[in-house]
Amino acid sequence: MVSRSKIDANKTVFSDLDAYCSANGEPLSNAGQARWIVSAKGRDQHRLVKADLTSFVSLGATLKIARFDLEEESLFCTVGLELPDEISGLLDEEVGGGILTAILSELKPIPIVSALCVKNITGVGVDTPGYVGHEVLEISQLYPVVRVFSGADISAEETPRIYFLICLADSVRSGTWMDKQLRANLELIAELSPIAIPYRILCRSLFDTDPGAVFLALYRCLEALYAYSHTSELMKKLDMDMEWNKVAQVLEETLAWRPREEPSLGMLLHMAVAEDLKLMLSSLGTTLPVKADLVSYATKQMYQLRNSLVHYRSFDQAFDPDTVNWNRLCEATALMVLHVYASVFGE
């Protein structure tokens, strides 16, 4: 565990604030002068010095999520997210001056107030009679809301999954178009293996104003399994006892082999539930033609949608996103991911 200097951390925080004021036309006369955030002795100062930043995700200049570890405790810290008092498996913590200093010095969020407002607060320093440091409330009000949640015995592999749950709990940005039914189904995704699911991609998609980003993130969960059927069949024929994803990686690295996308998607959707495929079709405003095969037709519709969102071609641009029921489409895709992953990893 690497110790963090209290002096250096505070210097970083106030240097960043000085630079913000200067860049926005309000330079401070006391720029560079020693200032600090008051931290309580004991646990709070211990966190400032000993909490290691082990992982973080930046969702924007004012949106951050991070994990700090110390001893047997993990702290999940957020900047700019509007969260409830409870996150599954985590305990809401008071934000003390020590952990606030660590968060601001490491994550460097941008203030949300004017440079003049920052100047009026940080312009007070050691040259002011009676100065004993800046109180937590003084500095925290300059930034988006900072929250801290603690948990014990949480493995590093679980971090992206917890990030995803935190992002889903945000009541502002991730709630602009998603309804409760979709959010509940997305929470089920968090029960899947943190190694298998690209949770960071899912996190970023939740904050995109385009609902197609969530569909594409869920589609990538299926895309990650494209090689499954082909490599599994090969392993059976060669009587190999290895993990299928490692075999697929060797095939790509050695032979430059990659599975064809649409047929691979179709093989996966055979593991999906028929009702989910029908829900996807109805969300796209289409129904299964008479005598058509459900899996084949759903595969083609899903793959065409993916291409329309990813590519820019005349044919694809005929697609009108306003005709899609994005809540039900993403719900259906999330359920497909759940059932397909259960089939693949359940084996």
Output DSSP code: residue 186: H
Half-sphere exposure of 38 (CA within 13 A, CB side): 10
Same domain, residue pair 56 and 126: yes
**How confident is the model at residue 258, as a pLDDT?**
61
**How confident is the model at residue 175, as a pLDDT?**
56
Whether 125 is covered by a domain: the verdict is yes
Range of the domain at 189: 180-346
Half-sphere exposure of 143 (CA within 13 A, CB side): 29
**How confident is the model at residue 12, as a pLDDT?**
97
| Alpha carbon distances (Å) from 66 to 72, 103, 243 | 17, 8, 31
Cβ proximity of 226 and 268 under 8 Å = yes
- Provide the domain count of the chain: 2
| Rounded-to-5 percentages of helix, strand, coil across the chain | 50, 10, 35
Same domain, residue pair 204 and 298: yes
Same domain, residue pair 190 and 150: no
| Alpha carbon distances (Å) from 147 to 27, 292, 328, 339 | 29, 52, 32, 34
Same domain, residue pair 115 and 184: no
Rounded distance between C-alpha atoms, residue 322 and residue 318, angstroms: 12
Please give the angle made by the CA atoms of 162, 150 and 199, to the nearest 5 degrees: 10
Whether 162 is covered by a domain: the verdict is no
Same domain, residue pair 211 and 149: no
- Residue type for 316, please? D
Same domain, residue pair 60 and 208: no
**End position of a domain, from candidates 139, 154, 169:** 154
Whether 267 is covered by a domain: the verdict is yes
Cβ proximity of 282 and 328 under 8 Å = yes
**How confident is the model at residue 318, as a pLDDT?**
63
| Alpha carbon distances (Å) from 340 to 38, 170, 265 | 51, 27, 11
Cβ proximity of 43 and 186 under 8 Å = no
Cβ proximity of 211 and 330 under 8 Å = yes
Same domain, residue pair 150 and 15: yes
Same domain, residue pair 202 and 269: yes
**How confident is the model at residue 248, as a pLDDT?**
58
Whether 170 is covered by a domain: the verdict is no
Same domain, residue pair 123 and 226: no
Whether 168 is covered by a domain: the verdict is no
Whether 163 is covered by a domain: the verdict is no
State which residues of the chain have pLDDT below 50: none
Same domain, residue pair 339 and 291: yes
β-sheet bridge partners, residue 263: none
Whether 206 is covered by a domain: the verdict is yes
Same domain, residue pair 248 and 296: yes
Whether 73 is covered by a domain: the verdict is yes
**How confident is the model at residue 70, as a pLDDT?**
92
Rounded distance between C-alpha atoms, residue 151 and residue 164, angstroms: 16
Rounded distance between C-alpha atoms, residue 291 and residue 318, angstroms: 27
**How confident is the model at residue 315, as a pLDDT?**
53
Rounded distance between C-alpha atoms, residue 135 and residue 95, angstroms: 12
Same domain, residue pair 230 and 146: no
